[in-house]
Structures are given as C-alpha cells and as structure tokens.
Amino acid sequence: MIPLLWSLFLEQKQTWQWIAPCFSGDPGINAVLAERRLNSIHNYDGVLNNIYTGMYARVDNLVTRVLLDNADQYTGKSAAQSSLSTAVATNKGYADNVSEGVSLVQTNQGYVSSISDKLSTMKQLAEDAASGDYTAAQVAVMQLDLEYLVDDIDAIADGAVGETHLLTADNATVVVDIGNSFVIDIDTHDLTDSGLEIDNLDLTTDAAGAVIAIDAAIAEVDSYSTTLTIKADALESSAAILEAESDSLLAVQSGIERTDAALMIVGLLAASSTSSFVTFLAAQANITSQTALGLLSVSI
C-alpha cells in the first residue's frame, strides 16, 4: 500500500508543478492565467484521469481484490471483511472456552493439593498410633483428629456451590472445545472420603490398616494431580496457539479493512469528473493571489 500511495503522491506532485507556474506575482492576472491553464487541463482528461484510473487499476489487481467483492448489502462490508470478523469472533469464543478450562483445572489443582496435605497429616497420625508409643487415650484423641481431617477432605472435594466439580465422582468428563474439531477432555475423579476409601478408618482398632489405606489414597491423589497438570499444560498451550491465531487474524482484518477503504476511495476518485477538480482549483484561485500561489507552488 505504501508504494501505491507514493506513486499517487509523485503523480499528483507532477500535476501541481505543471499547474503552479501559470500563477504570477501579479494578483490582477492570476485568475485569467488560472482559467486558461485549467481549461487546458479540462480539455486533456488524461492528466487527472490517468492518475486515479491508474491507481484504481493497481489496487484492483491486488490478490486481495478478489476477496473484496460481493459487499454485504446491509453492512457494506466486503466478503473478506465479513469472513474475518466471523473468524475473529469464533477465535475469541474458543479462547474463552480454554480460559475457563484453565481456571477450572487450576482451581481443582489447589483442592487436590489441600487434600494431599491433609492425607499426609492423617498418615502421620496413623503411623503414630501404630507405633505403640501412645496410650489408648492418646490414640483416641488421634482418632478424633483423623475424623476431622476426613471431614475436611470431603468438604474440599465437594467444592463451592455453583462450581463445576471434578472431585466428587469418577468417569465423568468436562469437554473443552478448542476449535478445528479438537477438544480437551478433563476427566473427573472421586476424591471424597468414600471415593478414597478413608471414611471408615479406626486408629483405635487397626492403626496399621489405616496406614495402608491412607498410603493408597495418597497415591491416588498424586496420580490425579499428575493428570490435572497434563491437562493444564495442554490448555495453556492451546491458549498460546489461539492467541497467536488471534494476532494473525486481527492483522489480516486490519489489512483488509484498510485495503477495502482504499479501494472505495480510489474508486470514487476514478469515477469523479475532471470538471469537479477544475471547479475546486478555480475556487482556490479566487481566494487571494498569495494563498493560491502558496497552495499550488509549494515545494515538496
């Protein structure tokens, strides 16, 4: 587009330089000289028509010109412009999906981490109870602490009201549509006390069995934590790809809009009559001699 505008600038400059010498420093004869010179322009349509018609032809021959046809009758936008607008909106929809997916996974990663911490505390209690170094009364207190921790784990897995729950059931799937017929499936996993099978632990009767059950629960939680990390990485990569795609689409859309506008303007110029331009110059000559001379003979 820059070479195109530069070419127009040079052609217009040549036209102004051709017109400017007709003006003298004598205010009394400027209008007469202007009229004679402008009449010669009017009789030679190619002076201006060649400039604007040539510019229109160069824009018209652009590859993107093919996409600029078939303007919408209601919006006035070209087919390319409408297509790009749709693509940008679609991209944003997929980006929003991915953003929600990232938020969902990150929230549940925090929950899983909290559950893991509480399981570690439970394991320590179970190991202490199984060691034989504590009295029955002390183990009973440990049992109460363990039950509180189990309740906390259940509450964490249940999550807040209104949230999408990943930790309350097995074999459910949250589908994130990332576009181009691709999706990322986020599988749920039951990390409630019953899902982890830690709801019936009793340190007073079987502390050693409690240690084994808690170890299994920790392994299960760690495995799901790894799964969420993998999903988070996939979603973040998808977000980066969609952002790059958005930048590209917006750049193309901007280029199409500029070309669309340029084509419309140049088309109007090409369709304008030379007499309209002559009228404009004649009006300039009638202002003052110095103003007209300054407008037409300024050195560029």
Per DSSP, the three-state class of 166 is coil
Give per-residue pLDDT as tens, 212-271: 999 999 999 999 999 999 999 999 999 998 898 888 888 876 766 666 555 555 555 555
Torsion sign, CA atoms 20, 22, 26, 31: negative
Judge whether residue 2 has pLDDT over 60.
Answer: no
Percent of the chain at pLDDT > 90 equals: 46
Q: What was the pLDDT predicted at 295? A: 46
Give per-residue pLDDT as tens, 156-186: 999 888 888 899 999 899 999 998 889 999 9
Judge whether residue 149 has pLDDT over 90.
Answer: yes
Does residue 173 contact residue 188 with C-beta atoms inside 8 Å?
Answer: yes
Does the 97-248 domain belong in CATH 1.20.1330.10?
yes
Percent of the chain at pLDDT > 70 equals: 57
Give per-residue pLDDT as tens, 69-89: 555 555 556 666 677 788 888
Q: What was the pLDDT predicted at 272? A: 55
User: In Å, how far are 68, 150, 160 from 168, measured between CA atoms?
Assistant: 53, 14, 12
- What are the tokens at 218? 């920790």
Rounded to whole angstroms, the Cα distance separating 111 from 178 reads 25
Rounded to whole angstroms, the Cα distance separating 194 from 200 reads 8
Judge whether residue 60 has pLDDT over 70.
Answer: no
Judge whether residue 129 has pLDDT over 90.
Answer: yes
User: In Å, how far are 32, 93, 148, 231 from 245, measured between CA atoms?
Assistant: 61, 13, 49, 21
Please state the domain extents for the chain: 2-81+270-297, 97-248
- How many residues are listed for the chain in this entry? 300
